[in-house]
Structure 1
Amino acid sequence: MKVDFWQLSRDPAEKVCALIAERVLGSGERLLVVSKDVDQREAISKALWKAGPESFLANGESDEDGADRQPVLLSDKPEPVNGASHVIFADGEFRETSGFARSFLLFDDATVEQARATWRLLDGKDGLERAFFRQDGGKWVKVA
Protein backbone atom coordinates (compact mmCIF):
# COMPACT_ATOMS: atom_id res chain seq x y z
CA MET A 1 0.00 0.00 0.00
CA LYS A 2 1.16 3.51 -0.79
CA VAL A 3 0.37 6.54 1.38
CA ASP A 4 0.99 9.93 -0.19
CA PHE A 5 1.10 13.04 1.96
CA TRP A 6 0.07 16.17 0.04
CA GLN A 7 0.75 19.50 1.75
CA LEU A 8 -1.83 22.07 0.67
CA SER A 9 -0.45 25.57 0.30
CA ARG A 10 -1.77 27.30 -2.80
CA ASP A 11 -4.71 25.17 -3.88
CA PRO A 12 -7.66 24.18 -1.67
CA ALA A 13 -8.54 20.55 -0.96
CA GLU A 14 -11.41 20.50 -3.46
CA LYS A 15 -9.13 21.49 -6.34
CA VAL A 16 -6.50 18.93 -5.35
CA CYS A 17 -9.18 16.22 -5.02
CA ALA A 18 -10.31 16.96 -8.59
CA LEU A 19 -6.71 16.72 -9.83
CA ILE A 20 -6.15 13.37 -8.11
CA ALA A 21 -9.58 12.08 -9.20
CA GLU A 22 -8.81 12.79 -12.86
CA ARG A 23 -5.64 10.73 -12.60
CA VAL A 24 -7.26 7.86 -10.70
CA LEU A 25 -10.25 7.62 -13.05
CA GLY A 26 -7.94 7.99 -16.05
CA SER A 27 -6.17 4.82 -14.94
CA GLY A 28 -9.49 2.96 -14.84
CA GLU A 29 -9.79 2.87 -11.04
CA ARG A 30 -12.41 4.18 -8.61
CA LEU A 31 -11.95 6.67 -5.80
CA LEU A 32 -13.31 7.29 -2.33
CA VAL A 33 -12.99 10.78 -0.82
CA VAL A 34 -13.34 10.89 2.97
CA SER A 35 -14.10 13.98 5.05
CA LYS A 36 -16.13 14.32 8.21
CA ASP A 37 -16.98 17.90 7.14
CA VAL A 38 -20.19 17.89 5.08
CA ASP A 39 -19.47 21.39 3.74
CA GLN A 40 -16.06 20.25 2.51
CA ARG A 41 -17.61 17.22 0.79
CA GLU A 42 -20.11 19.52 -0.93
CA ALA A 43 -17.30 21.81 -2.14
CA ILE A 44 -15.38 18.77 -3.41
CA SER A 45 -18.46 17.50 -5.24
CA LYS A 46 -18.92 20.85 -6.97
CA ALA A 47 -15.24 20.94 -7.96
CA LEU A 48 -15.49 17.42 -9.39
CA TRP A 49 -18.52 18.31 -11.49
CA LYS A 50 -16.63 21.34 -12.85
CA ALA A 51 -13.26 19.59 -13.23
CA GLY A 52 -12.63 20.70 -16.79
CA PRO A 53 -14.24 22.59 -19.66
CA GLU A 54 -14.96 19.39 -21.56
CA SER A 55 -15.24 16.94 -18.72
CA PHE A 56 -16.79 16.35 -15.36
CA LEU A 57 -16.10 13.77 -12.72
CA ALA A 58 -19.33 12.06 -11.72
CA ASN A 59 -19.65 11.62 -7.99
CA GLY A 60 -22.13 11.12 -5.20
CA GLU A 61 -22.51 10.69 -1.45
CA SER A 62 -22.24 7.25 0.12
CA ASP A 63 -25.74 7.43 1.60
CA GLU A 64 -27.46 8.08 -1.76
CA ASP A 65 -29.06 5.54 -4.07
CA GLY A 66 -26.57 4.13 -6.56
CA ALA A 67 -23.54 4.85 -4.38
CA ASP A 68 -22.03 1.52 -5.42
CA ARG A 69 -21.97 2.70 -9.07
CA GLN A 70 -20.24 6.04 -8.47
CA PRO A 71 -16.71 6.37 -9.90
CA VAL A 72 -15.98 8.91 -7.14
CA LEU A 73 -17.72 8.41 -3.82
CA LEU A 74 -17.82 11.02 -1.05
CA SER A 75 -18.23 9.83 2.53
CA ASP A 76 -17.50 10.53 6.18
CA LYS A 77 -16.24 6.93 6.59
CA PRO A 78 -13.51 4.99 4.77
CA GLU A 79 -15.93 2.37 3.44
CA PRO A 80 -15.52 1.87 -0.32
CA VAL A 81 -19.03 0.73 -1.25
CA ASN A 82 -18.16 1.73 -4.83
CA GLY A 83 -15.22 -0.70 -4.92
CA ALA A 84 -12.63 2.11 -4.78
CA SER A 85 -8.98 1.13 -4.86
CA HIS A 86 -7.82 4.64 -3.94
CA VAL A 87 -8.84 6.90 -1.05
CA ILE A 88 -8.30 10.59 -0.32
CA PHE A 89 -8.46 11.81 3.27
CA ALA A 90 -9.45 15.37 2.41
CA ASP A 91 -9.95 16.66 5.96
CA GLY A 92 -6.36 16.06 7.09
CA GLU A 93 -7.26 13.09 9.28
CA PHE A 94 -5.69 9.76 8.39
CA ARG A 95 -7.74 6.64 9.11
CA GLU A 96 -6.32 3.12 9.34
CA THR A 97 -7.75 1.17 6.42
CA SER A 98 -7.15 -1.94 4.42
CA GLY A 99 -7.93 -2.91 0.87
CA PHE A 100 -6.79 0.31 -0.80
CA ALA A 101 -3.85 0.29 -3.19
CA ARG A 102 -3.14 3.96 -2.51
CA SER A 103 -4.14 6.58 0.06
CA PHE A 104 -3.73 10.35 -0.18
CA LEU A 105 -3.61 12.44 3.00
CA LEU A 106 -4.25 16.12 2.25
CA PHE A 107 -3.14 18.47 4.98
CA ASP A 108 -2.70 22.19 5.50
CA ASP A 109 -1.24 24.47 8.17
CA ALA A 110 -4.05 23.59 10.58
CA THR A 111 -3.37 19.84 10.34
CA VAL A 112 0.38 19.77 9.70
CA GLU A 113 1.26 18.49 13.19
CA GLN A 114 -1.28 15.68 12.84
CA ALA A 115 0.23 14.78 9.45
CA ARG A 116 3.74 14.70 10.95
CA ALA A 117 2.53 12.38 13.71
CA THR A 118 0.92 10.11 11.08
CA TRP A 119 4.15 10.08 9.03
CA ARG A 120 6.09 8.92 12.11
CA LEU A 121 3.41 6.37 13.03
CA LEU A 122 3.58 4.77 9.59
CA ASP A 123 7.40 4.67 9.51
CA GLY A 124 8.68 1.13 9.09
CA LYS A 125 5.29 -0.57 8.61
CA ASP A 126 5.65 -3.68 6.47
CA GLY A 127 4.25 -3.40 2.97
CA LEU A 128 3.73 0.36 3.25
CA GLU A 129 5.43 2.98 1.10
CA ARG A 130 5.22 6.68 2.02
CA ALA A 131 5.77 9.76 -0.14
CA PHE A 132 5.54 13.48 0.56
CA PHE A 133 4.44 16.04 -2.04
CA ARG A 134 4.47 19.84 -1.89
CA GLN A 135 3.41 22.53 -4.33
CA ASP A 136 6.22 24.47 -5.92
CA GLY A 137 4.62 27.43 -7.70
CA GLY A 138 1.67 25.35 -8.83
CA LYS A 139 3.45 22.14 -9.79
CA TRP A 140 3.38 19.22 -7.37
CA VAL A 141 6.86 17.97 -6.46
CA LYS A 142 7.80 14.83 -4.58
CA VAL A 143 10.19 15.86 -1.78
CA ALA A 144 10.39 12.65 0.26
Structure 2
Amino acid sequence: MTIGALARAAGVNVETIRFYQRKGLLRVPHQPYGGIRRYGAAHQARLAFIKSAQWLGFSLNEVAELLRLEDGTHCDEASELAEAKLQEVRQKLADLTRLEAALADLVGACHQHSGDMACPLVASLQQGMLPGASRAQGARERE
Protein backbone atom coordinates (compact mmCIF):
# COMPACT_ATOMS: atom_id res chain seq x y z
CA MET A 1 0.00 0.00 0.00
CA THR A 2 1.08 3.61 -0.44
CA ILE A 3 1.95 5.86 2.48
CA GLY A 4 -1.47 7.50 2.17
CA ALA A 5 -3.25 4.15 2.32
CA LEU A 6 -1.13 3.13 5.32
CA ALA A 7 -1.97 6.39 7.07
CA ARG A 8 -5.70 5.87 6.50
CA ALA A 9 -5.52 2.24 7.64
CA ALA A 10 -3.64 3.20 10.81
CA GLY A 11 -5.78 6.26 11.54
CA VAL A 12 -2.84 8.67 11.42
CA ASN A 13 -1.63 11.48 9.19
CA VAL A 14 0.98 10.89 6.47
CA GLU A 15 3.22 13.38 8.28
CA THR A 16 2.97 11.25 11.41
CA ILE A 17 4.37 8.30 9.47
CA ARG A 18 7.20 10.42 8.11
CA PHE A 19 7.92 11.73 11.61
CA TYR A 20 8.10 8.17 12.98
CA GLN A 21 10.46 7.30 10.14
CA ARG A 22 12.75 10.23 10.98
CA LYS A 23 12.72 9.16 14.65
CA GLY A 24 13.69 5.62 13.64
CA LEU A 25 10.45 4.11 14.92
CA LEU A 26 9.27 2.95 11.49
CA ARG A 27 11.43 1.57 8.72
CA VAL A 28 11.35 3.33 5.35
CA PRO A 29 10.64 0.72 2.66
CA HIS A 30 12.86 0.37 -0.36
CA GLN A 31 11.84 2.56 -3.28
CA PRO A 32 12.31 0.85 -6.62
CA TYR A 33 13.94 2.99 -9.27
CA GLY A 34 11.25 5.33 -10.57
CA GLY A 35 8.62 3.63 -8.42
CA ILE A 36 6.60 4.26 -5.32
CA ARG A 37 7.46 2.98 -1.87
CA ARG A 38 5.13 0.20 -0.77
CA TYR A 39 4.15 -0.45 2.81
CA GLY A 40 2.89 -3.78 4.10
CA ALA A 41 1.23 -5.46 7.03
CA ALA A 42 4.42 -5.27 9.10
CA HIS A 43 4.38 -1.47 8.83
CA GLN A 44 0.73 -1.38 9.82
CA ALA A 45 1.40 -3.67 12.81
CA ARG A 46 4.31 -1.48 13.90
CA LEU A 47 2.12 1.63 13.73
CA ALA A 48 -0.52 -0.15 15.83
CA PHE A 49 2.20 -1.02 18.38
CA ILE A 50 3.36 2.61 18.52
CA LYS A 51 -0.17 4.00 18.89
CA SER A 52 -1.07 1.44 21.58
CA ALA A 53 2.06 2.27 23.57
CA GLN A 54 1.31 5.98 23.28
CA TRP A 55 -2.24 5.36 24.48
CA LEU A 56 -0.72 3.77 27.60
CA GLY A 57 1.21 6.99 28.16
CA PHE A 58 4.62 6.00 26.85
CA SER A 59 6.64 8.80 25.25
CA LEU A 60 8.14 8.25 21.81
CA ASN A 61 11.54 7.67 23.41
CA GLU A 62 9.99 5.02 25.64
CA VAL A 63 8.20 3.54 22.61
CA ALA A 64 11.57 3.27 20.88
CA GLU A 65 12.88 1.33 23.88
CA LEU A 66 9.83 -0.96 23.84
CA LEU A 67 10.32 -1.54 20.12
CA ARG A 68 13.89 -2.58 20.86
CA LEU A 69 12.42 -5.20 23.20
CA GLU A 70 9.58 -6.29 20.89
CA ASP A 71 10.97 -9.75 20.17
CA GLY A 72 9.48 -10.80 23.51
CA THR A 73 12.68 -12.18 25.04
CA HIS A 74 13.30 -9.15 27.27
CA CYS A 75 10.23 -9.36 29.49
CA ASP A 76 12.09 -8.18 32.60
CA GLU A 77 13.23 -4.98 30.85
CA ALA A 78 9.76 -4.34 29.43
CA SER A 79 8.28 -4.93 32.88
CA GLU A 80 10.65 -2.37 34.39
CA LEU A 81 9.55 0.22 31.84
CA ALA A 82 5.89 -0.56 32.54
CA GLU A 83 6.43 -0.36 36.31
CA ALA A 84 8.07 3.05 35.96
CA LYS A 85 5.15 4.22 33.79
CA LEU A 86 2.68 2.88 36.36
CA GLN A 87 4.39 4.85 39.12
CA GLU A 88 4.25 7.97 36.96
CA VAL A 89 0.52 7.46 36.32
CA ARG A 90 -0.13 6.93 40.03
CA GLN A 91 1.71 10.15 40.85
CA LYS A 92 -0.35 12.04 38.27
CA LEU A 93 -3.53 10.59 39.76
CA ALA A 94 -2.49 11.75 43.23
CA ASP A 95 -1.71 15.21 41.84
CA LEU A 96 -5.09 15.33 40.10
CA THR A 97 -6.86 14.30 43.31
CA ARG A 98 -5.18 17.19 45.16
CA LEU A 99 -6.07 19.54 42.30
CA GLU A 100 -9.69 18.40 42.39
CA ALA A 101 -9.89 19.04 46.16
CA ALA A 102 -8.36 22.52 45.82
CA LEU A 103 -10.73 23.46 43.00
CA ALA A 104 -13.73 22.07 44.86
CA ASP A 105 -12.82 24.18 47.91
CA LEU A 106 -12.46 27.30 45.76
CA VAL A 107 -15.72 26.69 43.92
CA GLY A 108 -17.44 26.20 47.27
CA ALA A 109 -15.96 29.45 48.56
CA CYS A 110 -17.14 31.22 45.39
CA HIS A 111 -20.70 29.98 45.91
CA GLN A 112 -20.67 31.25 49.49
CA HIS A 113 -19.24 34.61 48.39
CA SER A 114 -21.47 37.61 48.80
CA GLY A 115 -21.28 41.37 49.12
CA ASP A 116 -18.23 43.50 48.46
CA MET A 117 -15.67 40.84 49.43
CA ALA A 118 -13.07 39.92 46.86
CA CYS A 119 -13.75 36.77 44.86
CA PRO A 120 -12.10 33.90 46.81
CA LEU A 121 -10.76 32.26 43.64
CA VAL A 122 -9.22 35.45 42.25
CA ALA A 123 -7.86 36.42 45.68
CA SER A 124 -6.23 33.00 46.09
CA LEU A 125 -4.66 33.20 42.65
CA GLN A 126 -3.39 36.73 43.25
CA GLN A 127 -1.85 35.76 46.57
CA GLY A 128 -0.40 32.49 45.29
CA MET A 129 -2.03 30.76 48.23
CA LEU A 130 -3.17 27.59 46.49
CA PRO A 131 -1.76 24.43 48.11
CA GLY A 132 0.85 22.75 45.96
CA ALA A 133 0.66 25.44 43.25
CA SER A 134 4.36 26.18 43.23
CA ARG A 135 5.25 22.46 43.09
CA ALA A 136 2.77 21.79 40.30
CA GLN A 137 3.94 24.83 38.34
CA GLY A 138 7.56 23.75 38.68
CA ALA A 139 6.68 20.29 37.35
CA ARG A 140 4.93 21.83 34.31
CA GLU A 141 7.90 24.10 33.63
CA ARG A 142 10.24 21.06 33.63
CA GLU A 143 8.05 19.31 31.04
Shorter-chain TM-score category?
under 0.3
| Larger of the two Rg values belongs to structure | 2
